[in-house]
């Protein structure tokens, strides 16, 4: 990637000559790049540096929407502003089913390139392949000192990277030091570690005095209890269009509808991802009873299903459901058509939790909105510090809403920093 490389220092302390910026953006993903562009377009913009741990900005963006990038949604907050923003950098939208917007090119890479090109054109500096490990407030001018380390350093570490000679003698070879009056933390959450996100923003924020609402993977497949896995693993690969309710300790916590995929370990598909956003935070400690109730045949009531089976002996429900699912219902309900019909309308699967961070599309929990100014994204705890994107607490459903949040909070921070 083009873009000037910021200066670096070999000494562990801040020194005169540390690379100076007006604004440093930590994390050049969806929110960070948007913020950089919004800031640099201002007539009063100063020098801006984007630091990203990857050697390319917006790496996760390339994987979004299965490579197509579900960039926004007609129903998303700030949709018109987001659409205008992208038009201004040359990306036009095409809207599909459910109000989902995609780049007209149909390719996520065009979104990433447009953002990077616009930020470069506006004069952003980039420090790539550098992982920020510390952001310290309290510089003499009220600004921040930012420390980043070269690749090889473990996520979250605060000293020199392994094998760096400086670790023993107090110097930090391979570390880079920067200074800025304002800093935006836009490092995302913990979802998708394969794209370079390890949740380090939460540690950085805590050290600056913020709290962090307990986090968990979201927009992620749901996992059966061990017993349920024995019962349902054979349905692996079966797809069904259905309605679902997530019940936690007998209470309805969420509902969704769409296409469900039975996996060997549990339940997948966009509708299950949406339910995962409301999974209990402390499922392991509190052991709540978590169960999904499925209506496998929405639109047909139980008496009609019963009649269908009675009028077509031996067919059971294989005329309306996958054969494997129909056979399971018959086996579990003693070949009693009324019971089979009732079970198809209220099919229960007990859950033990969700898949992990690698499969998750986003993070549940994070920096509480009460700790930032809703108009600017500025911290109420550490003035001059800003947050945008997935590092913030709210979680959004599938359909382009998470990227919308990243763009909208990025634009807000860029316009205010």
Q: What is the binding site for ligand FAD (CB under 6 A)?
A: 26-32, 51-54, 59-60, 63-65, 69-70, 131-132, 186-188, 191-192, 196-197, 200, 361-362, 389-390, 400-403, 406
Q: Shortest gap between Cβ of 211 and ligand FAD (angstroms)?
A: 19
Q: Shortest gap between Cβ of 101 and ligand FAD (angstroms)?
A: 10
Q: Shortest gap between Cβ of 406 and ligand FAD (angstroms)?
A: 4
Nearer CB in complex with ligand FAD: 63/74: 63
- SS3 for 361-377, per residue? CEEEEEECHHHECCCCC
Nearer CB in complex with ligand FAD: 91/403: 403
- What b/e sequence results for 11-41 when a residue is b if at least 16 CB atoms lie within 10 Å of its CB, and e otherwise? ebebeeebbbbbbbbbbbbbbbbbbbbbbbe
Backbone φ and ψ for 176, nearest 5 degrees, come out as -125, 140
Nearer CB in complex with ligand FAD: 91/321: 91
Q: Shortest gap between Cβ of 351 and ligand FAD (angstroms)?
A: 21
Q: Which residue's CB atom is positioned nearest to ligand FAD? A: 29
Nearer CB in complex with ligand FAD: 113/361: 361
Collapse the DSSP code of 5 into the 3-class scheme (helix H, G, I; strand E, B; otherwise coil) and give the result: coil
Measured CA to CA, the distance from residue 321 to residue 327 in angstroms comes to 10
Nearer CB in complex with ligand FAD: 337/409: 409
Measured CA to CA, the distance from residue 202 to residue 367 in angstroms comes to 7
Nearer CB in complex with ligand FAD: 292/360: 360
Q: Shortest gap between Cβ of 67 and ligand FAD (angstroms)?
A: 9
Q: Shortest gap between Cβ of 31 and ligand FAD (angstroms)?
A: 3
Residue 327 CB contacts under 8 Å (≥ 6 apart), including other chains: 316, 318
For 204, counting Cβ atoms within 10 Å of its Cβ (0-12 exposed, 13-18 middle, 19+ buried), the class is buried
């Amino acid at each position: 990637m083009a873009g000037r490389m910021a200066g670096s220092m070999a000494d562990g302390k801040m020194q005169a000559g540390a690379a100076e910026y007006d604004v440093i953006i930590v994390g050049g993903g969806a929110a960070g790049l948007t913020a950089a562009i919004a800031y640099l377009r201002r007539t009063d913009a100063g020098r801006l540096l984007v630091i990203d741990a990857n050697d390319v900005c917006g790496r996760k963006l390339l994987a979004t929407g299965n490579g197509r990038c579900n960039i926004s949604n007609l129903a998303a907050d700030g949709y018109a502003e987001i659409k205008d923003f992208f038009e201004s950098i040359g990306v036009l939208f095409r809207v599909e089913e459910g109000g989902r917007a995609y780049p007209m090119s149909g390719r996520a890479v065009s979104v990433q390139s447009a953002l990077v090109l616009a930020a470069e054109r506006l004069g952003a500096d980039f420090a790539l392949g550098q992982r920020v490990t510390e952001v310290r407030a309290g510089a003499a001018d009220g600004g921040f000192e930012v420390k980043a380390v070269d690749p090889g350093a473990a996520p979250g570490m605060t000293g020199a990277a392994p094998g760096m000679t400086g670790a023993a003698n107090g110097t930090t070879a391979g570390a880079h030091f920067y200074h800025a009056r304002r800093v935006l933390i836009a490092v995302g959450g913990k979802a998708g570690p394969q794209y370079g996100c390890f949740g380090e923003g939460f540690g950085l924020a805590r050290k600056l005095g913020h709290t962090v609402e307990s986090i968990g993977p979201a927009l992620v497949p749901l996992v059966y209890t061990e017993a349920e896995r024995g019962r349902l693993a054979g349905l692996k690969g079966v797809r069904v269009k259905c309605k679902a309710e997530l019940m936690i300790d007998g209470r309805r916590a969420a509902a969704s509808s769409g296409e469900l995929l039975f996996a060997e370990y549990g339940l997948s598909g966009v509708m299950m991802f949406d339910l995962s956003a409301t999974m209990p935070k402390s499922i392991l400690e509190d052991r709540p009873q978590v169960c999904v109730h499925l209506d496998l045949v929405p639109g047909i009531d139980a008496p009609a299903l019963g009649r269908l089976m009675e009028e077509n002996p031996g067919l059971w429900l294989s005329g309306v459901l996958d054969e494997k699912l129909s056979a399971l219902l018959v086996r579990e309900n003693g070949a009693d058509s009324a019971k089979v019909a009732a079970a198809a309308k209220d099919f229960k699967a007990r859950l033990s939790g969700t898949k992990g961070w690698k499969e998750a599309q986003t993070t549940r929990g994070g920096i509480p909105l009460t700790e930032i100014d809703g108009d600017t994204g500025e911290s109420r705890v550490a003035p001059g510090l800003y947050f945008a994107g997935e590092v913030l607490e709210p979680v959004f459903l599938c359909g382009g809403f998470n990227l919308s949040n990243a763009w909208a909070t990025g634009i807000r921070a860029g316009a205010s920093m």
